[in-house]
């Protein structure tokens, strides 16, 4: 069982300090209890208690400070960060969010050549402060080319910043908000440090109705000295995108954490509920819902763990993570919605009850596909990799499980964000060939037909200009990538062949759904439609593997319940 369980997890593979901090984090939430967790959520209480814990234990400082800038045990260790991501997601998006936004806010700082502000930031982290990432604006949204945050030359030296930012987490309490703008006199992009404590920093409002503070803030003649500049020109632009490259990966872990807690609550409820003289879990359709939810959730985690290896293996010559991270963001978070939908079909009205974790999970799981670029924005990025992925494979040394205790310093020197279509990948077919499960073999046939369509009936100029067409095409491509890393992860995590079979049962069905949608798209050609219809295949049903995975899913009933 690869799912996180607070009652059983010991983190024995981690060093003593990391293990202690993760277990203390679990203990903080367990002592807080579900009743107080939900009360604070309903009343939109700012999480001073959690931030006091973060400060006291130096939690963010330990996990988010590069080793060279911190004090004993600090490092930016993606594998270790995954564990904390999962814990915070498990107890609710409200507590994951200040961690995520702090991580984003630190990106432009750790990428900066400004040594003074890097040292100051490390000190502020040690003191327990949080940070923010001032990128998006109300009028421009995800269009980073446009910014109304303008820095004009100050006759007395430096600059004066004027403009507003929108949808910026932690912007009420952050020590520093890394703010993106443009220098008027040189037309250069710039990142600079804005401090909410300054009188010219105007906190306009919280734009959401949650515990989080997601701010609109405005700078009015805000003084920006050279010492406040983090980066400018191309470096500032690259810092923005490279920070998002890091941060978007975390969203998948929030979905995994939320779904895992919701699964325990749902299966425990269903296993004890009797209707029509049967336990709910006796009904065949309920068994199918839980088995599929368990398989989808397991696949989410297998993918996420494997994608972490590619982040840690990244270098100027190996940038495969730039595909795998947006797939994590887009696919894993969307799969989280599927898991919650399946569980909700089981527990029905119970999912609305105010005292359940599920009520919060059902609301928050919808947010994650829409953060750090929408699903559509990330799909536009993913499609750029499709040609080389299928038709121009390269040789790479094998990437093992990279769970060692070390800094992932390349993440802060990723370099220019150009040239995505030139990135090459190892041959995805290599891992698929290693599996004999019937549904994996069916999926291989589907992917072979898809590749044939791309070669023999490639998208026309008209189709390439229709993003609705490209989006569904990209869904099919994404499934191939998703399956590849799931299988690589399955080998490393030694999961059963039965689980692989059940994962690819839904993978075959998902491929069918997208192939059918594309076949009936208005601009799809006759040749493409013929090939797409040939891709549609019935998944194999293996009763023994299905029964085994249903048993694993049902076995989670009563294995974890959060105390009141």
The domains located in the chain, with CATH, are: 16-130 (1.10.540.10), 132-232 (2.40.110.10), 239-391+427-554 (1.20.140.10)
- What pLDDT digit, counting tens, does each position of 330-340 carry? 999 999 999 99
- Residue 182 pairs in a beta bridge with 150, 189
> What backbone phi and psi angles, to 5 degrees, belong to 318?
-135, 95
- Name the helix (H) or strand (E) containing 258: helix 234-272
Confidence of residue 380 (pLDDT cuts 50, 70, 90): confident
How confident is the model over 512-529, as a mean pLDDT?
A: 96
Helix axis angle for 438-456 and 497-519, nearest 10°, is 30
pLDDT of residue 277: 87
Q: Is the dihedral of CA 308, 314, 318, 321 positive or negative?
A: positive
- What pLDDT digit, counting tens, does each position of 93-124 carry? 999 999 999 999 999 999 999 999 999 999 99
3-state secondary structure of 187: coil
Separation of alpha carbons 116 and 401, rounded Å = 36
Using CB atoms within 10 Å of the CB of residue 119, give its burial: 0 to 12 exposed, 13 to 18 middle, 19+ buried: exposed
The number of C-alpha atoms within 13 Å of 386 and in the hemisphere containing its C-beta is 24
Q: Is the dihedral of CA 418, 419, 421, 423 positive or negative?
A: negative
DSSP assignment of 280-348 equals GGGSHHHHHHHHHHHHHHHHHHHHHHHHHHHHHT-BTTB-THHHHHHHIIIIIHHHHHHHHHHHHHHHG
Among the listed residues 418, 423, 240, the one whose alpha carbon sits nearest the alpha carbon of residue 314:
423
CA distances for 407 relative to 20, 23, 192, 400, 412, angstroms: 19, 22, 25, 17, 10
For residues 375 and 517, the model is more confident at: 517
pLDDT of residue 71: 84
**Bridge pairing between strands 188-194 and 176-183:** antiparallel
pLDDT of residue 378: 80
Confidence of residue 165 (pLDDT cuts 50, 70, 90): very high
In sequence order, the 6+-apart residues with CB closer than 8 A to the CB of 375 are 330, 333, 334, 369
Q: Considering the chain, what is the average pLDDT of its residues?
A: 96
Confidence of residue 264 (pLDDT cuts 50, 70, 90): very high
CA distances for 10 relative to 263, 383, 479, angstroms: 21, 40, 33
pLDDT of residue 141: 75
Confidence of residue 1 (pLDDT cuts 50, 70, 90): low
CB 504 within 8 A of CB 442: yes
How confident is the model over 197-221, as a mean pLDDT?
A: 98
Confidence of residue 464 (pLDDT cuts 50, 70, 90): confident
- What pLDDT digit, counting tens, does each position of 323-375 carry? 999 999 999 999 999 999 999 999 999 999 999 999 999 999 999 998 876 77
Separation of alpha carbons 550 and 397, rounded Å = 37
- Name the helix (H) or strand (E) containing 204: strand 201-206
Among the listed residues 239, 285, 293, the one whose alpha carbon sits nearest the alpha carbon of residue 264:
293
- What pLDDT digit, counting tens, does each position of 119-145 carry? 999 999 999 999 999 999 998 876 788
Instruction: Retrieve residue 74's tokens.
Output: 């600090």
- Residue 229 pairs in a beta bridge with 192
**Bridge pairing between strands 176-183 and 201-206:** unpaired
pTM of the model: 0.97
In sequence order, the 6+-apart residues with CB closer than 8 A to the CB of 222 are 160, 161, 162, 194, 198, 200, 201
Separation of alpha carbons 176 and 196, rounded Å = 7
Q: 276: alpha, beta or left, given left = phi > 0 and alpha = psi -120 to 50? A: left
pLDDT of residue 562: 97
* DSSP E strand stretches across 210-288: 214-224, 229-232, 274-275, 278-279
pLDDT(402) > 70:
yes
Among the listed residues 258, 440, 509, 510, the one whose alpha carbon sits nearest the alpha carbon of residue 359:
258
Among the listed residues 15, 36, 24, the one whose alpha carbon sits nearest the alpha carbon of residue 562:
36
Instruction: Retrieve residue 375's tokens.
Output: 């699903």
Q: Is the dihedral of CA 342, 346, 352, 353 positive or negative?
A: negative
pLDDT(266) > 90:
yes
How confident is the model over 267-288, as a mean pLDDT?
A: 95
């Amino acid at each position: 069982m690869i799912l996180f369980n607070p009652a059983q997890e010991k983190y024995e593979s981690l060093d003593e300090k990391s293990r202690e901090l993760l277990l203390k984090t679990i203990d903080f939430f367990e002592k807080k209890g579900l009743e107080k967790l939900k009360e604070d959520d309903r009343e939109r209480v700012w999480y001073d208690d959690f931030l006091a814990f973060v400060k006291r234990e130096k939690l963010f400082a330990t996990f988010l400070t590069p080793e060279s800038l911190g004090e004993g045990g600090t490092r930016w260790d993606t594998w270790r960060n995954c564990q904390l991501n999962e814990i915070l997601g498990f107890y609710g998006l409200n507590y994951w969010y200040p961690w995520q936004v702090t991580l984003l806010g630190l990106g432009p700082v750790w990428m900066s050549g400004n040594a003074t502000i890097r040292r100051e930031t490390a000190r502020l982290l040690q003191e327990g402060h949080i940070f923010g990432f001032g990128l998006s604006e109300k009028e421009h949204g995800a269009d980073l080319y446009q910014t109304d945050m303008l820095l004009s030359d100050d006759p007395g030296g430096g600059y004066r910043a004027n403009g507003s930012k929108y949808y910026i987490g932690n912007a009420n309490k952050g020590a520093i908000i890394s703010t993106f703008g443009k220098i008027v006199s040189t037309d250069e992009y710039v990142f600079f440090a804005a401090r909410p404590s300054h009188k010219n920093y105007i906190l306009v409002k919280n734009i959401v109705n949650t515990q989080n503070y997601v701010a609109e803030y405005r700078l009015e003649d805000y003084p920006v000295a050279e010492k406040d500049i983090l980066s400018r020109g191309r470096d500032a632009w690259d810092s923005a995108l490279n920070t998002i490259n890091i941060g978007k990966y975390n969203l998948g872990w929030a979905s995994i954490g939320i779904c895992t807690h919701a699964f325990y609550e749902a299966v425990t409820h269903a296993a004890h509920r009797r209707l029509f003289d049967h336990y709910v879990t006796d009904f065949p359709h309920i068994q199918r819902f839980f088995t599929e939810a368990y398989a989808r959730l397991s696949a989410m985690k297998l993918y996420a763990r494997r994608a972490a290896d590619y982040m840690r293996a990244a270098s100027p010559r190996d940038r495969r993570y730039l595909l795998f991270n947006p797939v994590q963001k887009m696919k894993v978070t969307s799969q989280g919605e599927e898991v919650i939908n399946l569980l909700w079909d089981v527990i029905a009205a119970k999912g609305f009850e105010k005292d359940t974790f599920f009520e919060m999970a059902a609301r928050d799981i919808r947010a994650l596909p829409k953060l750090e670029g929408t699903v559509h924005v990330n799909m536009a990025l993913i499609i750029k990799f499709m040609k080389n992925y299928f038709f121009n494979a390269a040789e790479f040394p094998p990437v093992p499980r990279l769970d060692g205790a070390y800094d992932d310093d390349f993440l802060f020197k990723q370099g220019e964000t150009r040239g995505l279509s030139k990135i090459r990948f190892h041959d995805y077919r290599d891992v698929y060939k290693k599996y004999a499960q019937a549904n994996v073999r069916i999926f291989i046939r589907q992917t072979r037909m898809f590749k044939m369509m791309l070669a023999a009936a490639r998208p026309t100029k008209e189709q390439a200009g229709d993003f609705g067409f490209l989006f569904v095409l990209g869904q099919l491509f994404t499934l191939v990538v998703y399956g590849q890393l799931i299988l690589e992860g399955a080998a490393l995590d030694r999961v059963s062949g039965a689980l692989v079979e059940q994962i690819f049962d839904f993978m075959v069905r998902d491929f069918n759904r997208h192939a059918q949608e594309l076949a009936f798209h208005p601009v799809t050609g006759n040749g493409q439609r013929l090939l797409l219809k040939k891709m549609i295949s019935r998944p194999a049903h293996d009763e023994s593997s299905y029964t085994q995975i249903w048993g694993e899913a049902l076995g989670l009933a009563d294995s974890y319940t959060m105390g009141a």
